[in-house]
Structure 1
Amino acid sequence: MISEAYMKKSEQAAFTRANLVLSAARRFDRYGYDGTTLSSVCVEANVTLGALTFHFRCKASLACAVVQKGVDELRRTSAARPTAAGALTELSLLVLQVAKTLQGNVLTRAAVRLIQEGHVASDWLDLFHEEVSRLLEGATAAGDLGAGVRSATAVRLVMYVVEGAMADARRTLAGEGPTGPDFVEVWSAVLEGLDAHTR
């Protein structure tokens, strides 16, 4: 039979690990991999270096844990969108949900930054890019993409807009200037430019 003391110790270990992952995510999100030290994560988490290295042997393993948590959340977000009629509507739902998650969840922002910097391997960005491409190709085939707008160009635009949402969230949290327009407003303007039926 598992003792109460063992259960409490296990719960405390799980709490410390989760706290370390979240604290590391805050540092990675703000400063990137190279700008984050284990000692700064310890200060953020209010734990000793020994407690950190008990759970994570090095900064690379800590970064991997952040990416795993963040990407899991992004996968849930992408999979949870309702089925929509029309590729552009489905694209819009996907982009709005992913951007909302990236803006509001430091684990997801940190994960994407670590992937973009090349410190942790993950296929999430590639899969997101492929899904955006698939939907925009579907919009082109249906005649819903504006004349003169190539799907490849639209894909790049979507990726820029989502990355911009992440950067805005980072700047706002750091208090580096006023909050820009709401992302829904920005996305509506982008979608209007892409949609053949709004011209």
Structure 2
Amino acid sequence: MKKKEQATRTRTNLVLAAARNFDRHGYDGTSLAAVCADAGISMGALTFHFRSKAALAAAVADEGVGELQRIRTARPRTGRPLHDLSCLVLAVAATLHRSVHARSAARLIAEGHVVSDWPADWRGEVEELVECAWKSGALTEEVRPGTATRLVRHLVDGVTVDARVTGGQPGPTPPDFAEVWRAALTGLAADPRNSAAGLP
């Protein structure tokens, strides 16, 4: 039992160290030697758990995507699309800010080193909520649903980059993003005076 627990700890440490390195340097800029040094684990221990850098990247992505997918599936469904969109966007943004696994997964997927359903699932969820907001009259007529969807994606992508740049140091935080999102929501809502109703 003790050996199994040790193996689990070693694997967890390797995945975390790999996530930090992939997040900072991308797949091509990360070496297995750097991951071992970061984790304080030998190359032999790494190759025991992961046969290749690709296998390690897949494990990191699984962890990060799992966090993001749980947010998506647990999102509220109140029938108020702008409110539900706000809950989803703010939760995803906060997770990308605090979770190196989630940021690393997003980078590995964007760079094409890992294949995942997450980007399509996330995009589809946002599109659905924006479309519902548009059909219900909650979205201003001056902004097309496709434009609103792109705006949301760009804002959340920005959180990922900001969090990566700060490297866990004091910097952009979810409260800062909430203010940015509030400003964006004011421009999306049919009646800006009621945009606060879209906030959780």
Asked if TM exceeds 0.5, the reply is yes
SS across alignment from 1:57: coil
State the partner residue of 2:177: 183
Match in the other structure for 1:71: 65
* Residue equivalent to 1:135: 129
Residue in structure 2 matching 1:149, options 126, 143, 153 = 143
| Residue in 2 that maps onto 1:168 | 162
**Distance change >3 Å, CA 107–CA 55, structure 1 → 2:** same
1:43 and 2:37 are equivalent in the alignment: yes
**Percentage of pairs with the same residue:** 54
Shift of 1:174: 6.3
Per the alignment, residue 119 of structure 2 pairs with 125
Which runs of 5 or more structure 2 residues have no equivalent in the other structure? 194-200
| Cα distance, 1:81 vs structure 2 | 2.5
3-state SS of 1:196 partner:
coil
Q: Does 1:159 align with 2:153?
A: yes
Q: TM (normalized to structure 1)?
A: 0.92
The aligned amino acid for 1:124 is: W
Deviant stretches of 4+, over 6 Å: none
**CA positional deviation for 1:84:** 2.3
**What is the deviation of 1:80?**
2.2
Alpha-carbon RMSD across the aligned residues, in angstroms, is: 1.5
CA–CA distance in 2 between the matches of 1:70 and 1:170? 14
Tell me the TM-score normalized by structure 2: 0.92
Q: CA, structure 1 residues 174+96, in 2 after alignment: closer, same or farther (shift >3 Å)?
A: closer
